[in-house]
Amino acid sequence: MMTAVIQTSGLGKQYRRTWALRDCTLAIPEGRVVGLVGPNGAGKTTLLQLATGLLTPTRGTISVLGEPPAASPAQLARVGYVAQDTPVYARMRVADHLRLGAWLNPGWDDELAQRRIGQLGLDPKQRAGSLSGGQRAQLALTLALAKRPEILLLDEPVASLDPLARREFLRSLMAAVAEHGTSVVMSSHLVADLERVCDYLIVLVASRVRIAGEVTALLASHHRLSGPRRDPGTLPAGQDVIEESHTDKQSVLLVRTGEPIHDPAWAVTPISLEDLVIAYMNPASDIPARRPQLGVVS
Amino acid sequence: MIEFQLDETSGVATYLQLVQQVHQALRMGMLEPGDQLPTAQQVVAKLAINPNTVHKAYRELERAGLARARPGLGTFITRSPSGTDPATQARFLAAMTDWLRSARSAGLGPDDIEAIYRTAFRACFAEGAA
């Protein structure tokens, strides 16, 4: 059986009367680069903070690398986390950040940290507050990577970066994944970026997991059908309609099915990851009567 | 060593683009048996793609018998796809280039030239199939 790096069961977090996350059951396999997508306020940051141990669950359970989050200093050392807006200490120099990292982390890889700072062309004497957004993000990533974590949790790491800085960030992230085999969970709105780097996807909408699974499996099981107008209720069992639009003559459906589509009336086209994400994020697709099998795909 | 490119608008799966580029490079003589392919780390550090995508492409090339992974060393080209002699390739590329130059100096534009090429290509391969 494949090891799960993050396993949750019925996980929920409530703030006063609002559920930030509920009924979240996931098993994220090892060695994946996971894209966590969803509208603002869907629960992405809550899920990441539950995984770090910064938040404690109201309901259910979560384990990260086989242990409860932040169960021990040893468990903490295996998890790297970069919070939203890639925080660094503005008054501290780049070199001070590395010294602090070395002092706080028993498994600190100073060679890796120094090498990355050199490759990025960062001046060790420069104060972090005067770095560009892209450089700050790279410094924060360097600190997280030099811990040599087994899993890296990144909350919107590229949201505030220009396209060039974003690409550079993803390049160095992917190089680190290739070198160390680190698992990554990364929230982002930028589906085009996720399409390049992610092999596992989780879509969170309104505090719930709408869909989760391997990207190749998700793309293989979703199709766009277009053909003469038809009531989606007449589709064969096992074809779940995620999204539909109709004119007086034509129907266009996005369906999820494990079976091939044989009906010759349909023109079948594959969908992109972006189409899939948008379809699941659309609140109109949440029709209870025909609600597809959501939740866990393992 | 070859360098991979990515066309995000093509709709072709990323791993398949890498496979196709190796085939293309073999046909054009830019890769030969014994040549090393870039490591997954080199590819992802340039293209910002998932390393598993590169591994998948290389496995595909191995399955086709074109490449072999040598543990600790990298992935190497073992043979060219059948029927591709680099010298012949080069000869026809040169002839095609001459032809294109003469078409252009005769006043034909890119669209004209492409239409002629497509028509001739279709006619030729329709003959072959018959």
Give this complex's ipTM.
0.78
- For residue B66, being part of any structural domain is answered with yes
Q: Evaluate whether A97 touches A122 at the Cβ level (below 8 Å).
A: no
**Interacting residues of B34 by C-beta distance below 8 A, sequence separation 6+:** B76, B77
Residues of chain B with Cβ-Cβ distance to A197 below 8 Å are 48-50
Binary contact (A196, B50; C-beta < 8 A): yes
- For residue A213, being part of any structural domain is answered with no
B44 touches chain A (CB under 8 A): yes
Q: Mutate which of B7, B42, B49 to disrupt the A interface (most A C-beta within 10 Å)?
A: B49
Question: What is the DSSP code (8-state) at residue A204?
Answer: E
Domain check: are B65 and B94 in the same one?
A: no
Domain check: are A176 and A231 in the same one?
A: no
- For residue A141, being part of any structural domain is answered with yes
Domain check: are A194 and A243 in the same one?
A: no
Query: What are the tokens at A173?
Result: 């992230």
Closest CA to A148 of A116, A105, A118, A92: A105
Radius of gyration of chain A (CA): 21
Of the three residues A206, A229, A251, the one that is the final residue of a domain is: A206
Question: What is the DSSP code (8-state) at residue A67?
Answer: B
Binary contact (A179, B47; C-beta < 8 A): no
Instruction: Write the pLDDT tens digit of every residue in B52-69.
Output: 999 999 999 999 999 999
- For residue A70, being part of any structural domain is answered with yes
Closest CA to A128 of A139, A116, A113: A139
Number of domains making up chain A: 2
**Alpha-carbon torsion angle A7, A292, A42, A188, nearest 10:** 80
Instruction: Write the pLDDT tens digit of every residue in A8-57.
Output: 999 999 999 999 999 999 999 999 999 999 998 899 999 999 999 999 99
Domain check: are B72 and B105 in the same one?
A: no
Phi, psi of B63 (to 5 degrees): -60, -35
Of the three residues A206, A232, A248, the one that is the final residue of a domain is: A206
Closest CA to A156 of A134, A186, A185, A184: A186
Indicate which CATH number applies to the domain containing A180.
3.40.50.300
- For residue A295, being part of any structural domain is answered with no
Binary contact (B45, A172; C-beta < 8 A): yes
Domain check: are A159 and A29 in the same one?
A: yes
Domain check: are B67 and B29 in the same one?
A: yes
Asked if pLDDT for residue A214 goes beyond 90, the answer is yes
Nearest to B41 among A31, A33, A178 (CB): A178
Of the three residues A161, A176, A206, the one that is the final residue of a domain is: A206
Q: Whole domain around residue A231: which residue ranges?
A: 221-290
Q: Evaluate whether A256 touches A218 at the Cβ level (below 8 Å).
A: no
Domain check: are B70 and B117 in the same one?
A: no
Residues of chain A with Cβ-Cβ distance to B40 below 8 Å are 178
Predicted TM-score (pTM) of this structure = 0.81
Indicate which CATH number applies to the domain containing B22.
1.10.10.10
- For residue A239, being part of any structural domain is answered with yes
Domain check: are B95 and B58 in the same one?
A: no
Domain check: are A70 and A200 in the same one?
A: yes
B41 touches chain A (CB under 8 A): yes
Binary contact (A178, B49; C-beta < 8 A): no
- For residue B44, being part of any structural domain is answered with yes
Instruction: Write the pLDDT tens digit of every residue in A229-239.
Output: 998 888 888 88
Domain check: are B61 and B100 in the same one?
A: no
Rounded Cα distance between A49 and B104, Å, is 63
Q: Whole domain around residue B55: which residue ranges?
A: 14-77
- Name the pLDDT band for B89 (thresholds 50, 70, 90): confident
Domain check: are A150 and A253 in the same one?
A: no
Number of domains making up chain B: 2
Domain check: are B20 and B56 in the same one?
A: yes
Binary contact (B48, A196; C-beta < 8 A): yes
Residues of chain A with Cβ-Cβ distance to B47 below 8 Å are 171, 196
Domain check: are A49 and A84 in the same one?
A: yes
Q: What percent of chain B has pLDDT over 90?
A: 60
- For residue A211, being part of any structural domain is answered with no
Sign (positive or negative) of CA dihedral A23, A69, A190, A131: positive
For residue A80, the tally of other CB atoms under 10 A from its CB is: 24
B21 touches chain A (CB under 8 A): no
Query: What are the tokens at A258?
Result: 């494990």
Binary contact (A33, B50; C-beta < 8 A): yes
A33 touches chain B (CB under 8 A): yes
